[in-house]
Amino acid sequence: MLTNDTLTLLPHTDQRMAEIADKVRRGERLNLEDGVYLYQSDDLLTIGQLANEVNLKKNGKKAYFIENMSLYFTNVCESYCAFCNFRKDQGEEGSYTLSGEQMVEYVEQHIHPGIREFHIVGGHNNHVPFQYYVDSLKALHERFPEVTLKAYTAAEIDFFTRISGLTIREVLTELQKAGLQSLTGGGAEILSDQYREKMKVDKANVDQYLEVHRTAHQMGIKTGTTMLYGSIESHEDRVRHMIQIRDLQDETNGFMVFIPLSMQPKSKNANIMRRNSAYEDLKTIAISRLMLDNIQHIKAYFINIGTQLTQVALTFGASDVHGTILKERISHAAGANTPEGLTRKELIWLVKGAGRIPVERDTFYNEIQVFE
């Protein structure tokens, strides 16, 4: 139990867990062996208690959300990642590539005054030039200058370098001129080249993913970062992923949030055995909080784990519940059976229902309104 914000371990906690708890309470960094042990332990409540204590020290009882829209300019993609059901080939039924003007028209039909961020990702469409991606942002920025453009994954940035012949820094500079203010965290999957080969992750490798974020951070561009878990990777792979992110954060301090993404099955009708368990989702969120001592926020992504488990996650180390989104497509194309978005009112209710204090934020975690 938590008593006066001090962790009291459950009676059945073993010696190894007690040692890890002592390290956490002393502010001592956990290592690879600690992280793997936590994954192998079945003592979920103690792991959750430890993560909750760390989060309370970092963020108090505040849980953050943003009013945002997810936008997808194109689903045409040159890559054939094994886990992706969003991508299409050029000319395939259901494929699309929207111009900036078409996206502006779509946004005008759906936007409301509270939207603060456009979250923009899409396919690696090599049938259009890099300038298309620049012009896409420029059209949105000119029409909605008050809305932050959080656009493209590190894998997309790497793709842009290949189709343009520009360096990472040059690509980011051109996108900044068009209105880019932050990068999304996607494309990390599992930071293991062996994993990426087996899962046919035909895009940026580990070094390239990290180098894009390193360069962005050096340029003053804050970013998020993700981990897609629940397929063929081992527990050690997951912890090594976290450590690589932690090491880069030590170097740049540019990550605002870590987002564990629960792998979705190919179909919404997939049975329970094709999905990650709630146990695994909560454990991963908690271990992320414990391993990533230098990142302020861990996100519970309701699109992948559902709204009620998101509420529980707020006492397992999470301090962010993402945003309104309006119409998410990538996880839902892969079989997510959760809401495609939530209203501002619903997000406030979700956080309060977990006994936390809802805080509306902007992209950079500046507080807009606190709902005591």
CA end-to-end distance (rounded Å), the chain: 24
Can you tell me the distance from the alpha carbon of 133 to that of 312, in angstroms, rounded to the nearest whole number? 38
Q: Within its chain, how far is the Cα of 157 from the centroid?
A: 17
84 is in an annotated binding site: yes
Among 2-16, 93-107, 189-203, the range scoring the smallest mean pLDDT is 2-16
CB atoms < 10 A from the CB of 244, how many?
18
Per residue in 130-178, pLDDT (tens digit) is 999 999 999 999 999 999 999 999 999 999 999 999 999 999 999 999 9
Residue scoring higher pLDDT (200 or 358) = 358
**Closest listed residue to residue 283, CA positions, set 308, 300, 297:** 300
- Amino acid making up residue 72: Y
- Average pLDDT over every residue of 347-355: 95
333 is in an annotated binding site: no
CB atoms < 10 A from the CB of 161, how many?
19
Read off the pTM.
0.90
DSSP 3-state assignment of 224?
Answer: strand
- Cα separations in angstroms, 198 against 123, 195, 232, 233, 260: 20, 5, 9, 10, 20
The predicted structure's pLDDT at residue 10: 58
Name the token pair of 20: 């890890």
Can you tell me the distance from the alpha carbon of 148 to that of 119, in angstroms, rounded to the nearest whole number? 9
Can you tell me the distance from the alpha carbon of 33 to that of 240, in angstroms, rounded to the nearest whole number? 10
Per residue in 312-345, pLDDT (tens digit) is 999 999 999 998 866 434 443 444 444 556 888 9
Q: Helices 15-26 and 32-40: crossing angle, nearest 10°?
A: 130
77 is in an annotated binding site: yes
Per residue in 240-256, pLDDT (tens digit) is 999 999 999 999 999 99
